[in-house]
Structure 1
């Protein structure tokens, strides 16, 4: 059942739903947790993006999951939660070693996503955890520039 189509469909379905019981069964059966779908999403990317903290925690428990796996656009689980503003999952990912400075296909980082979408608590968390504020995206913009475009004065204090 490692990479069978049934196992692949089941793992993505369970990941999207945050179905802990099914995830535990699939992990025990040896399903490849680094498998990707057509968009390059891994089960971890799905669980994080959908906000399933306990499922994320389960997938990160000694399972060999690539915490920094990038989808077809170069986005990581951390970028997804930065976009959504889920600081609990971001904190878990950072504690488990997620790299906040990876850049996607357009050069965006998790910090940049947080700035683009006005996620001030996420900006604070990523800044406090050492995210590189000097990186630029494909347009030459830094996180500070993106927060400035949004008029987010509170965020700017974390980005200086």
Structure 2
């Protein structure tokens, strides 16, 4: 199994090559690279929505984590990839999963000033009371960093 070729195709958004390689060997779907990334995590981090959809339709684990405990949703939440976040949510991702630092997608969206992602997550009932390992909530980070728009959303 040539995972390097497959992960390169995922990263580049080469849907035809991803499709062909999965057809050859469906074990690619939930394989992990040296950083612990699954194809779904990598496709999400690079905002490759077409590949994300294909992987999910073919059995990718929507809640898989990388070596740091990050899910695809956590990655797109700090990057601000709204459409990818919506796809992951529509496919049943756990909104409140914590990574190895105890942080959630909501906390990362607040830390990186992503108000649209915050709205999406709050609308999906993200738990605003969750604290990370430092004892801080999403609202705490938004206030600390002076992100007024995010603070307003989280204060309502």
Shorter-chain TM-score range = over 0.9
Q: Structure 1-normalised TM-score?
A: 0.93
Q: Specify the alignment match of 1:117 in structure 2.
A: 112
**More helix, by proportion:** 2
SS in 1 for 2:32: coil
Aligned residue pairs total 154
Q: Structure 2-normalised TM-score?
A: 0.95
Give 1:16-95 correspondences, 5 Å limit.
16-32=11-27, 33-61=29-57, 63-95=58-90
Q: Which moved more, 1:71-80 or 1:8-17?
A: 8-17
Unaligned 5+ residue runs, structure 1?
none
CA offsets, 1:16-48, max 9 Å, x none? Answer: 111100011012112321110111000111110
Question: Pairwise CA RMSD of aligned residues?
Answer: 1.0
Shift of residue 157, structure 1, vs aligned partner? 2.6
Unaligned 5+ residue runs, structure 2?
none
SS in 1 for 2:135: coil
What is the distance in 2 between the residues matched to 1:123 and 1:150?
A: 15
CA offsets, 1:117-159, max 9 Å, x none? Answer: 0011111111111111111100000111011112122212322
Give runs of ≥4 in structure 1 deviating > 6 Å. none
Q: Specify the alignment match of 2:153 in structure 1.
A: 158
Q: Does residue 1:102 correspond to 2:105, yes or no?
A: no
